Structure 1
Amino acid sequence: MRISELERRTGVTRDTLRYYEKQGLIREVGRSGNNYRDYPEQAVARVAMVRQLKSLGFSLNEIRELLDAVRSDRIDCLQGAAVMARKRTLVDARIRELKAVSALLKQEQARLEASAREHGLV
């Protein structure tokens, strides 16, 4: 399929698709007779997987490593689950950090609102 169809079917821009290809996230891209990129049908699922993993906080390097392992059959379900567990631990730590920041912001907001009331601004 041409890049325009892959773009339409995935909602990912051409520039991003080319970047994913350059980074090795999309492979098996052929060339048609007129030298247009010719993406295989499985590229749709591959792009969807990349987007999903990105939304879970995986970096493109982590995604490439995971996809390479899956492609080469070096990873089994337990290994994949372990990768996800490690990432989840990092995400949980980030959530704790963000909650702490949120608490500080809430405290500062309350202080500023009290100050505004004290000065008759509210």
Structure 2
Amino acid sequence: MKHLSERRDPRGLHDRAISAAMTLVLDQRRQPPTIADIAEAVDEPVERVRALFADERALLVASVEQALVVLIDSCTRAVVRVDPDDPVAQFLSLGRHLSGLGLPLSRAVQAAAGLRSDQRAA
């Protein structure tokens, strides 16, 4: 994961550490990564990473917050693509967007959004 090193990734250490944490969580799926794992992934000394995040919990909280920001932004973009005076179109657009992300939706939302069975989230 050396592609997250400062020489190859222009983002700051904070953003690179969060990206590394999320990648490691997806790859490992058994336990959250340690600060040492993140430091190795971003090719930085452990002390630099620990200066930003007191412990693994703080790093994971920051990662979840970042993921929520991305989710909110993508949902907002889906809603504003349609007629601002048509709340039904906004709702349907949001439903299609969330289904495309693989998020589980209720059958009622899927039906309202007109999603075929092969498009529904598991």
Q: Same fold (TM over 0.5)?
A: no
In terms of Rg, which structure is larger?
Answer: 1
